[in-house]
């Protein structure tokens, strides 16, 4: 089969392209931003890429055109597909029909922790010798790639609630039909496509409605919003985990011991923070559903290396540690900063990029100041396009917040003020003008 993917360099679509190529299909695609490392990674496995969406570059002899959710009406290639009557589908739909339909799907959903939990779960199954397939929205330190077909029956997928395509506004995860479903947490996010938390709950319940009775839903019993989703109707088996609700089936105590059915297991992780321990707990329960014993899963987790851009230490220069983290929601920012607090002798300095659509819209602006409390210093960039006032965050925060003109001014400020023992955590869900490497170079000089 010959497949052409529009928007091929996004994390999900690039993973889908790898799976299609591994399945023996001829794969090509286009994107507005074809550049390393994603472009070289795809080209290395024999995928030809077109830079940009020029209609003239679209081949007309493909069996199917897979359209990413970043594509909108007016895109020259998509307009040509419509005019020519060429066959097209969404990425999630193609993935289910071509790969997931015959697999035991283990899906990880939730506002936070999807990438970490799904990579933990894939690693447990891999370490147990089950050779799972997987598609994860990040690069795990335990794997060389973000997607793999696998030879076993199990397939682990990060189950995103974002929409599937311009012609399919259902959440991606509606297509996956898992037999094992992890629900980590649920908060309001993606304000560009959801009006409120109720709208997101509805999509999560649509997911629950697609599960057979023999499926297992593993959910965080500390999360009221998840319980409300299940109260809308649930026809599958349920297992709960929690750190606050001691009546949960699996209870994680303050000593990071996992308690279940009168047994207590020590949980050893290299990554700090109770939220990481909860992610690991969910992964261990999901692996148990696939037949991996708890003690075997715990052993695998002791050798889990984490995910790039999740509390990833990318440099240490003269005793100053630089950390890259994906946090872009007040809850994730708060949890990340509290996990890192006190892990070195100096100050915790947060450099925050206001980038996600939800953050830029100001949906979480009231929560943002409180989420920064664990940092000793917070640096932000001015952004005149924001419909809300960054200065109010600086005024209401309990920690010192400084607003700089641009990323270069942040770098200059840090190079003159950091001391041995300080750690700088750069929090962004984007490239942030390559501030990470620019800061490393400045500190080295």
DSSP-derived secondary structure for 52-68: S--GGGS-S--SEEEE-
Residue 338, domain CATH: 3.90.190.20
Query: Which pLDDT belongs to residue 312?
Result: 82
Query: Which pLDDT belongs to residue 370?
Result: 80
Overall average pLDDT of the 405-424 stretch: 88
Query: Which pLDDT belongs to residue 80?
Result: 98
**CA dihedral of residues 136, 141, 285, 130 (deg, nearest 10):** 80
Positive or negative, the CA dihedral 427, 121, 214, 261 is negative
Identify whether 37 is preceded by a cis peptide bond (ω within 30 of 0).
yes
Q: Are residues 171 and 266 in the same domain?
A: yes
- Summarised one tens digit per residue, pLDDT across range 95-148 is 999 999 999 999 999 988 888 899 999 999 999 999 999 999 877 778 888 899
Overall average pLDDT of the 255-272 stretch: 87
Q: Which range in 34-38, 41-45, 214-218, 277-281 is most confidently predicted, on average pLDDT?
A: 214-218
CA distance 266 to 220: 19
Q: Contacts from 135-138 at CB under 8 Å and sequence distance 24+? A: 135/12, 135/15, 135/16, 135/19, 135/95, 136/15, 136/307, 137/11, 137/12, 137/15, 138/11, 138/307, 138/308, 138/309, 138/310, 138/326
CA distance 71 to 39: 18
Q: Looking at the domain assignment, is residue 307 inside a domain?
A: no
Query: Which pLDDT belongs to residue 82?
Result: 98
- Summarised one tens digit per residue, pLDDT across range 156-210 is 999 998 899 999 999 999 999 999 999 998 886 666 667 788 999 999 999 999 9
Q: Are residues 271 and 318 in the same domain?
A: no
Q: Looking at the domain assignment, is residue 237 inside a domain?
A: yes
pLDDT for residue 94 is more than 70: yes
Q: Are residues 391 and 416 in the same domain?
A: yes
Q: Looking at the domain assignment, is residue 306 inside a domain?
A: no
Domain boundary among 252, 279, 301: 301
pTM value is: 0.80
Overall average pLDDT of the 14-37 stretch: 89
CA distance 420 to 437: 19
Sheet holding 64-67, edge to edge: 48-51, 26-31, 2-6, 64-67, 88-90
Query: Which pLDDT belongs to residue 305?
Result: 83
CA distance 443 to 445: 5
What is the count of structural domains for the chain? 3
Q: Are residues 388 and 321 in the same domain?
A: yes
Q: Domain residues for 107?
A: 99-301
Q: Are residues 128 and 159 in the same domain?
A: yes
Element (H, E) at 340: helix 330-340
Q: Around 225, how many Cα atoms within 13 Å sit in the side-chain half-sphere?
A: 17
Residue 17, domain CATH: 3.40.50.720
CA neighbor of 427 nearest in space, from 364, 356, 353: 353
Query: Which pLDDT belongs to residue 47?
Result: 92
256 and 269 Cβ atoms separated by less than 8 Å = yes
Element (H, E) at 407: helix 407-417
Q: Which residue has the tokens 């900063």?
A: 337
Query: Which pLDDT belongs to residue 121?
Result: 98
Q: Are residues 22 and 86 in the same domain?
A: yes
Domain boundary among 91, 120, 136: 91
- Summarised one tens digit per residue, pLDDT across range 337-392 is 887 887 778 899 988 887 776 666 666 667 777 888 888 888 888 877 777 777 77
82 and 29 Cβ atoms separated by less than 8 Å = no
Q: Are residues 271 and 126 in the same domain?
A: yes
Residue 289, domain CATH: 3.40.1190.10
pLDDT for residue 217 is more than 70: yes
Give the confidence band of 150 by pLDDT, cuts at 50, 70, 90: very high
Q: Looking at the domain assignment, is residue 190 inside a domain?
A: yes
Give the confidence band of 88 by pLDDT, cuts at 50, 70, 90: very high
CA distance 169 to 162: 8
Domain boundary among 91, 113, 144: 91
pLDDT for residue 431 is more than 80: no
Q: Are residues 120 and 157 in the same domain?
A: yes
Query: Which pLDDT belongs to residue 359?
Result: 67
Q: Are residues 319 and 242 in the same domain?
A: no
pLDDT for residue 218 is more than 70: yes
What is the pLDDT of the chain when averaged over all its residues? 89
Query: Which pLDDT belongs to residue 132?
Result: 98
Q: Are residues 255 and 113 in the same domain?
A: yes
Task: Pull the structure tokens for residue 99.
Answer: 């790969």
The share of the chain scoring above pLDDT 90, in percent, equals 53
Cβ count within 10 A of residue 29: 25
Query: Which pLDDT belongs to residue 362?
Result: 62
Q: Are residues 294 and 437 in the same domain?
A: no
Query: Which pLDDT belongs to residue 105?
Result: 98
Query: Which pLDDT belongs to residue 392?
Result: 78
- Summarised one tens digit per residue, pLDDT across range 319-335 is 888 988 877 677 778 87
Q: Are residues 428 and 390 in the same domain?
A: yes
Query: Which pLDDT belongs to residue 35?
Result: 65
């Amino acid at each position: 089969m010959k497949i052409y993917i529009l928007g091929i360099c996004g994390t999900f679509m690039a993973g889908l392209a790898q799976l299609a190529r591994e399945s023996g299909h001829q794969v090509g695609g286009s994107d507005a931003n074809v550049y390393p490392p994603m472009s070289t990674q795809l080209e290395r496995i024999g995928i030809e890429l077109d830079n940009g969406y020029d209609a003239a570059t679209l081949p007309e002899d493909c069996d199917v055109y897979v359209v990413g959710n970043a594509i909108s009406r007016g895109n020259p290639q998509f307009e040509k597909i419509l005019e020519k009557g060429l066959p097209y589908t969404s990425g999630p739909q193609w993935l289910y029909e071509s790969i997931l339909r015959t697999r035991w799907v283990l899906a990880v959903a939730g506002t936070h922790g999807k990438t970490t939990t799904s990579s933990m779960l894939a690693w447990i199954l891999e370490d147990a010798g089950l050779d799972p397939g997987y598609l994860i929205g990040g690069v795990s330190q335990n794997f060389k790639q973000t997607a793999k077909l696998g030879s076993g029956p199990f397939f682990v997928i990060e189950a995103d609630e974002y929409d599937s395509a311009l012609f399919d506004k259902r959440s991606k995860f509606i297509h996956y039909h898992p037999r094992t479903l992890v629900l980590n947490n649920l908060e309001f996010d993606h304000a560009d496509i959801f009006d409120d938390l109720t709208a997101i709950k509805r999509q999560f319940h649509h997911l629950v409605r697609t599960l057979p009775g023999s499926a297992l839903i593993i959910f965080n019993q500390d999360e009221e919003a998840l319980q409300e989703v299940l109260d809308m109707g649930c026809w599958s088996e349920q297992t709960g985990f929690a750190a606050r609700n001691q009546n949960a089936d699996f209870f994680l105590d303050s000593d990071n011991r996992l308690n279940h059915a009168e047994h207590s297991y020590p949980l050893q992780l290299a990554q700090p923070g109770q939220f990481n321990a909860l992610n690991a707990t969910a992964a261990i329960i999901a692996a148990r559903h696939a037949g991996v014993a708890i003690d075997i899963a715990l052993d695998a987790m002791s050798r889990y290396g984490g995910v790039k851009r999740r509390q990833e230490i990318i440099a240490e220069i003269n005793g100053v540690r630089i950390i890259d983290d994906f946090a872009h929601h007040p809850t994730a920012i708060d949890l990340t900063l509290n996990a890192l607090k006190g892990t070195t002798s100096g100050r915790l300095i947060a450099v925050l990029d206001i980038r996600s659509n939800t953050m830029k819209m100001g949906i979480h602006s009231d929560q943002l100041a409180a989420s920064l409390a664990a940092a000793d210093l917070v640096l932000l960039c001015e952004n005149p396009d924001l419909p809300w006032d960054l200065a109010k965050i600086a005024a209401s925060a309990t920690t010192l917040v400084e607003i700089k003109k641009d990323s270069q001014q942040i770098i200059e400020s840090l190079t003159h003020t950091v001391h041995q023992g300080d750690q700088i955590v750069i929090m962004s869900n984007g490239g942030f003008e390559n501030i990470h490497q620019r800061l490393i170079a400045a500190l080295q000089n």
